[in-house]
Chains A and B, each alone.
Chain A
Amino acid sequence: MTGYLIRRLVQMVIVVMISAAASYALLNLAPGGPTAGLRQAVQGGRNRITAEDIARIRAYFELDLFLPYRFSRWLIGQPRGPLTIFGREFFGDTIVGCYQERMATVRYADGTIKDISLGCAQDVTLGDLVGRRTSNGVLFGDFGLSWRLLRDRPVTMVLASRLDRTLQLISLSTFFSLVIGIPLGIYSAVKQYSVFDYVFTSLAFMGSAMPTFFFGILMILTFAIFFKNIGLPYLPPGSATAVRAYTIPWIGTVQPESLLDHALHLILPVTVLTIVNISGWSRFIRASMLDVLRQDYVRTARAKGLWERVVVVKHALRNALIPFVTIIVFSLPGLFGGAIITESVFSWPGMGRLYFLALGDYDYPVAMAILFITAVLTVIATLLRDFLYTLVDPRIRFS
């Protein structure tokens, strides 16, 4: 058991490192970035941008360092300067980046023109890194400073501002999806080919087929706008809380940030997510249950005269849950990652939306933090899944 755990942990670390390196490289190699468009910026009389200005801003974002050094500084906060052993400095002259490239424009015979680099005009050495700001490294829990979304403030602050909202939304919808989805799936399987099963299966298909954004907007139009217009109790169209008190027919005045206000704002987005989840999960449970119900041991259980309820819940369901455990466990990273589309449609200030904004705004420290944490949660979920398997099915053993 201990040996198994150690082996798994080592594997997990390797997987996380590879995924971190890959996503870091992809983000950084992609075109764009925080200096994109600087050259095209309005060059007003009082705001001229020189090549020197651009080089300075590149250095501000560490873009002048070579990628491996940048990655290492992001990961472990090193190197920060020359290696110092017993007061002596080593590798101070090692070149770790290029502050400013020497560019030349080349015109080919066919008239095409290209900018080529003629090498580096000013190198950055390890010695130059002394005194530059840097994070302590994500491995030590420091995700650095945000580039764009919350400029120069800690990434953890940005994440913290969204985390509880996302947890509220996703945990509630996951909870309701489970509580409603599992019984629905079971019932539908037990009563296969009944009217209920047909109706339910059709609805589930519609639920899966309907895009979240369309479904969300439909709900807003109906329950927020239309209901309000005809004087029925309505729901808020978006955001996590209200700013000022509002009056709902039959219910009365709702104070901003009261429990009722929170609850009312949660209803629509949670409903949308829950319905989408239920339609997927319950069909999964149904299929899985149908498989199990056809097994010989279920027939045996029935044959020996057990109550149908015991047959279904104790004998069939437990085995049907094994594949389902995988789905549930992998919703763990989702708890952190949020739901991009639903959050956008309802102006929900959650993590999914933050990730989307971070990518669009070239806020790589924020995007990387989300990717990294999601990767860690995913490998943890994998481990958790394997443990849960042994609980659900005692025949499964670690080896």
Chain B
Amino acid sequence: MFTQKRILAVLSLVLVAAFALGACATPTPIEIIKTVEVQVEKQVEKIVTQEVEKIVTKEVEKQVEVVVTKEVEKIVTQEVEVQVDVPSAFATAPFALGDLKVRQALAYCTNKLDLIKTVYPLVAEDQQKALIMNTFIPTSSWAYAGDANITIYPFDAEKGKALLDEAGWTMAEGSEYRANADGIELALKFTTTTAAFRKAWAAVWEQQMKDCGVRIIRLHAPASWWFGDTTGLARRDYELGAFAWVGQADPGGRTLWACDQIPSPENNWEGQNGMGWCNAAADEGIKKAVNSLKLSDRQAAYTVVQAEYTKDVPAIPLFNRTETYAVVAGFQNFKPNAGTSYYQWNAQEWEIPGKDTIIEGFTQEPASLFTLVEDALVAGQAASFISGYSTTDHNFSFQARMLKELSTLDSGLAQMQEVEVKAGDMVRDASGTDAALAAGMKVVNTAGETVEFTGAPVKMNLLVVKYEYVDGLTWSDGEPLKVEDMQLYWKVRCDRENGATSFTICDMIKEIAWGEDYFGYTVTYNPGVMDPTYFLDPLGWYPAHRVLSDGRKLADVPAKEYTTLPEIAENPIGVGPYVLKEWVKGEKMVFEANPYFYLGAPKTPNIVILFITSENAEAQLLGGQVDILDGTSLVGVTETLDAAAKEGKITIIVEPSATWEHIDLNLSFGQ
């Protein structure tokens, strides 16, 4: 009997049961390790603090080696026999990955274009080819080394097979897979998520490997395990692992490619170098790349890292995903860009002839427009209509918008000074933490060497950057933007009770001088701060003059109240192209043009964000109820969309996404 109540009840039960199961079952996707209950008489050395002694009385079973936390001085460990039972259907040969020839062979045997065709069949072939990744930096990025400076592995199965033969993995007569002299089959476990997208290309890749005689045992694990805090990737629990990285305008990479970023108990599982790749030149290169501020130095350093990376093959970069947008026919000035999700950057230029309202479909509703606390993409996108952009990051590079120009060293707006630091000064230490300088701390001096502070003065780099904004920035209520508004932002930003996640920005700034003869401010960072994105303005603004519904001025409201304040979370004002007129929860956000926008009035008077479901998104577009859909509501180019585009009803735009797929090779098994 299908009553409403029963449907609800059954669904609730299913959900509750799923949760309950999830709570009870510890995911053990790779191997079931049977730990035998062993009673151990714990011997713990006398530990200094009172608190730690609690653990002496506490029965802690069967540990062998304890990685000491800060508070615990030392815990004596005892060898314990733990029986391991690996009921694996196949014994794999992960040690093969330690051999460069095997890794190169895997790269040669991979036909990236075929993988792309599997997942993006309706994308034009030249666009498909443009998606191929050669290294860990997208080819359109400023940091890309250039084809000539790296080793490229075009699909060449014969070359791959030859390399495997050379490495001692040969194909016996009549067998499907290669084996070494000991008769061990070349089988490798491949771990990734359960996403249909990955299952699709992984199945093809498995076949490509089979063609070269490599057996791939695919394991599609739940994302909660694969990306868990203490499981899967975070614990290097894989042989071959596939997932995606999001390319940034600033490529960073320190946590990925440096030797000290290989997660292990010894470093408290810090770092993302799960491959365990440690190459001296690359290690030096990546540190240089993220610790230099001059673009040319950084390019050179990234080139070195990419050259080593492609030579050593710690991972096989595959392809960029695509970002699909669909807009109604006739939509003008819709200009999404590779590398950024903020395609609303030029909303003031959007236009559909004959329509005074543009409707954008969102499948997720912003939780709050207080973007300091709410970091979901949709919140940022919706808020950007109101706030505008001070900078953008198109095509893996940065552009100034409301900022007069990027405050780079070359522009003269940023300066690097030498400063002598002494004990007690706030500095950024070599590990990137901002703290008061004390003896024993390691810092980077002006020569770029990491030195231990002993009490004797050390010379460090000091970054001073001036940020200046364009003229004419005006709040949508007509009040000009003032320095007080920025000061209010800074006060709220650094109040630990504001609900924000990270306060690094507050800790890394030594002082701010507010502009007197220019509109902006000058920031002096802590000595040692070498933030590669130093040229982006670190501050925003709040309308200090705004009077709240209860009569108070925004400037007088404690930061703690901001997250619940309607004038901040629901109806903020800004200096951007649009003003939020109405937010009907669960249904839509209605924006109208800001008459005071500094670039002139927007071309379309109204923009509406309509909250729809992904199940209903295409129908809404084809039915004429929405004008724009982006990649969060579209699964890609479907046949329905393709057909509508061919009939001229809609336009489909496919851009390479900043997100790219790759297969990581866990090298530790071979070492």
Chain A residues packing against B (C-beta within 8 Å): 23, 26-27, 29-32, 36-49, 53, 56-57, 60, 102-110, 112-116, 118-119, 121, 145-146, 148-153, 157-158, 161-162, 165, 170, 174, 208, 213, 217, 220-221, 224-225, 228, 234, 236-244, 246, 273, 276-277, 279-281, 284, 327, 330-335, 337-341, 343-347, 349, 352-354, 359, 371, 374, 378, 381
Bound-state CA distance A110–B34 (Å) is: 10
Binary interface profile of B, 585-621, with partner A (CB < 8 Å = 1, else 0)? 1111010000000000000000010111101100110
Least Cβ–Cβ distance between B552 and chain A, in angstroms = 18
Bound-state CA distance A104–B67 (Å) is: 6
In the bound complex, do residue B367 and residue A151 qualify as a contact, i.e. CB atoms below 8 Å apart?
A: yes
Given A56-B496, A339-B4, A340-B8, are A345 and B616 also a contact pair (CB < 8 Å)?
yes
Residues in B110-139 with C-beta less than 8 Å from chain A: none
Question: Which residues of A sit under 8 angstroms from B359, Cβ to Cβ?
Answer: 243-244
B280 at the interface (CB under 8 A from A): no
Given contacts A46-B533, A121-B71, 11 further A-B contacts (CB under 8 A): A26-B23, A41-B501, A109-B82, A119-B51, A237-B616, A237-B623, A238-B623, A239-B612, A277-B2, A339-B4, A374-B8
Residues in B506-552 with C-beta less than 8 Å from chain A: 508, 531-533, 538
Q: Which of A109, A118, A335 contacts B79 (CB 8 A)?
A: A109
Least Cβ–Cβ distance between A37 and chain B, in angstroms = 7
Question: Which residues of A sit under 8 angstroms from B496, Cβ to Cβ?
Answer: 56
Least Cβ–Cβ distance between B480 and chain A, in angstroms = 28
Q: Which of B20, B269, B625 contacts A239 (CB 8 A)?
A: B625
In the bound complex, do residue A106 and residue B357 qualify as a contact, i.e. CB atoms below 8 Å apart?
A: no
Nearest 9 CB-CB pairings of A with B: A334-B4, A161-B585, A237-B623, A349-B586, A237-B619, A30-B19, A280-B2, A152-B563, A151-B367
Bound-state CA distance A246–B65 (Å) is: 70
The residue on A at minimum CB distance from B588 is A243
In the bound complex, do residue B501 and residue A53 qualify as a contact, i.e. CB atoms below 8 Å apart?
A: yes
Given A339-B7, A345-B615, are A46 and B622 also a contact pair (CB < 8 Å)?
no
Question: Which residues of A sit under 8 angstroms from B58, Cβ to Cβ?
Answer: 118-119
In the bound complex, do residue A45 and residue B533 qualify as a contact, i.e. CB atoms below 8 Å apart?
A: yes
Bound-state CA distance A165–B16 (Å) is: 26
The residue on A at minimum CB distance from B270 is A43
The residue on B at minimum CB distance from A39 is B229
Given A103-B69, A148-B367, are A53 and B502 also a contact pair (CB < 8 Å)?
yes
Q: Which of B19, B432, B616 has the most CB of A within 10 A?
A: B616
Question: Which residues of A sit under 8 angstroms from B165, Cβ to Cβ?
Answer: none
B76 at the interface (CB under 8 A from A): no
Bound-state CA distance A85–B404 (Å) is: 62
In the bound complex, do residue B374 and residue A108 qualify as a contact, i.e. CB atoms below 8 Å apart?
A: no
The residue on A at minimum CB distance from B622 is A225
Residues in B67-118 with C-beta less than 8 Å from chain A: 67-69, 71-72, 79-84
Least Cβ–Cβ distance between A32 and chain B, in angstroms = 7
Q: Which of A121, A152, A339, A378 has the most CB of B within 10 A?
A: A152
In the bound complex, do residue B365 and residue A237 qualify as a contact, i.e. CB atoms below 8 Å apart?
A: no
Main secondary structure of the interface of A (DSSP, over half): mixed
In the bound complex, do residue B22 and residue A113 qualify as a contact, i.e. CB atoms below 8 Å apart?
A: no
Q: Which of A151, A161, A220 has the most CB of B within 10 A?
A: A151
B168 at the interface (CB under 8 A from A): no
Question: Which residues of B sit under 8 angstroms from A240, Cβ to Cβ?
Answer: 587
Question: Which residues of A sit under 8 angstroms from B2, Cβ to Cβ?
Answer: 208, 276-277, 279-280
Question: Which residues of A sit under 8 angstroms from B52, Cβ to Cβ?
Answer: 118
Bound-state CA distance A146–B366 (Å) is: 13
B631 at the interface (CB under 8 A from A): no
Residues in B248-267 with C-beta less than 8 Å from chain A: 248, 250, 252, 255, 265
Q: Which of A225, A244, A279 contacts B357 (CB 8 A)?
A: A244
Least Cβ–Cβ distance between A392 and chain B, in angstroms = 18
Bound-state CA distance A334–B9 (Å) is: 9
Bound-state CA distance A104–B47 (Å) is: 15
Question: Which residues of B sit under 8 angstroms from A40, Cβ to Cβ?
Answer: 227, 229, 234
Bound-state CA distance A330–B538 (Å) is: 56
8 example contacts (A-B, Cβ-Cβ < 8 A) are as follows: A26-B20, A149-B365, A165-B586, A238-B625, A239-B620, A242-B625, A343-B613, A374-B12
Question: Which residues of B sit under 8 angstroms from A239, Cβ to Cβ?
Answer: 587, 610, 612, 616, 620, 625
In the bound complex, do residue A109 and residue B373 qualify as a contact, i.e. CB atoms below 8 Å apart?
A: no
In the bound complex, do residue A107 and residue B65 qualify as a contact, i.e. CB atoms below 8 Å apart?
A: yes
In the bound complex, do residue B502 and residue A47 qualify as a contact, i.e. CB atoms below 8 Å apart?
A: yes
Question: Which residues of A sit under 8 angstroms from B4, Cβ to Cβ?
Answer: 170, 174, 273, 277, 331, 333-335, 337, 339
Question: Which residues of B sit under 8 angstroms from A23, Cβ to Cβ?
Answer: 16
The residue on B at minimum CB distance from A110 is B84
Bound-state CA distance A182–B227 (Å) is: 53
In the bound complex, do residue A243 and residue B563 qualify as a contact, i.e. CB atoms below 8 Å apart?
A: no
Bound-state CA distance A63–B397 (Å) is: 40
Binary interface profile of B, 615-647, with partner A (CB < 8 Å = 1, else 0)? 110011011110000000000000000000000
Question: Which residues of A sit under 8 angstroms from B432, Cβ to Cβ?
Answer: 45, 48
Residues in B333-380 with C-beta less than 8 Å from chain A: 355, 357, 359, 365, 367-368, 370, 373-374
Given A37-B227, A110-B82, A145-B564, are A46 and B613 also a contact pair (CB < 8 Å)?
no
B235 at the interface (CB under 8 A from A): yes
Question: Which residues of A sit under 8 angstroms from B433, Cβ to Cβ?
Answer: 48
Bound-state CA distance A161–B584 (Å) is: 8
Question: Which residues of B sit under 8 angstroms from A103, Cβ to Cβ?
Answer: 69
Least Cβ–Cβ distance between A350 and chain B, in angstroms = 8
B499 at the interface (CB under 8 A from A): yes
In the bound complex, do residue B585 and residue A333 qualify as a contact, i.e. CB atoms below 8 Å apart?
A: no
Q: Which of B62, B82, B615 contacts A213 (CB 8 A)?
A: B615
In the bound complex, do residue A224 and residue B623 qualify as a contact, i.e. CB atoms below 8 Å apart?
A: yes
Given A238-B616, A243-B610, A347-B613, are A157 and B3 also a contact pair (CB < 8 Å)?
no
Question: Which residues of B sit under 8 angstroms from A337, Cβ to Cβ?
Answer: 4-5, 8
In the bound complex, do residue B234 and residue A105 qualify as a contact, i.e. CB atoms below 8 Å apart?
A: no
Question: Which residues of A sit under 8 angstroms from B33, Cβ to Cβ?
Answer: 110, 112
Bound-state CA distance A238–B613 (Å) is: 9
Question: Which residues of B sit under 8 angstroms from A352, Cβ to Cβ?
Answer: 8
B11 at the interface (CB under 8 A from A): yes
In the bound complex, do residue B81 and residue A109 qualify as a contact, i.e. CB atoms below 8 Å apart?
A: yes
Bound-state CA distance A246–B620 (Å) is: 13
In the bound complex, do residue A57 and residue B501 qualify as a contact, i.e. CB atoms below 8 Å apart?
A: yes
Least Cβ–Cβ distance between B12 and chain A, in angstroms = 7
In the bound complex, do residue A119 and residue B54 qualify as a contact, i.e. CB atoms below 8 Å apart?
A: yes
Question: Which residues of A sit under 8 angstroms from B451, Cβ to Cβ?
Answer: none
Given A31-B22, A359-B15, are A280 and B1 also a contact pair (CB < 8 Å)?
yes
In the bound complex, do residue B538 and residue A280 qualify as a contact, i.e. CB atoms below 8 Å apart?
A: no
Question: Which residues of B sit under 8 angstroms from A276, Cβ to Cβ?
Answer: 2
Bound-state CA distance A148–B365 (Å) is: 10
Bound-state CA distance A327–B224 (Å) is: 39
In the bound complex, do residue A344 and residue B502 qualify as a contact, i.e. CB atoms below 8 Å apart?
A: no
In the bound complex, do residue A106 and residue B616 qualify as a contact, i.e. CB atoms below 8 Å apart?
A: no
In the bound complex, do residue A31 and residue B23 qualify as a contact, i.e. CB atoms below 8 Å apart?
A: yes
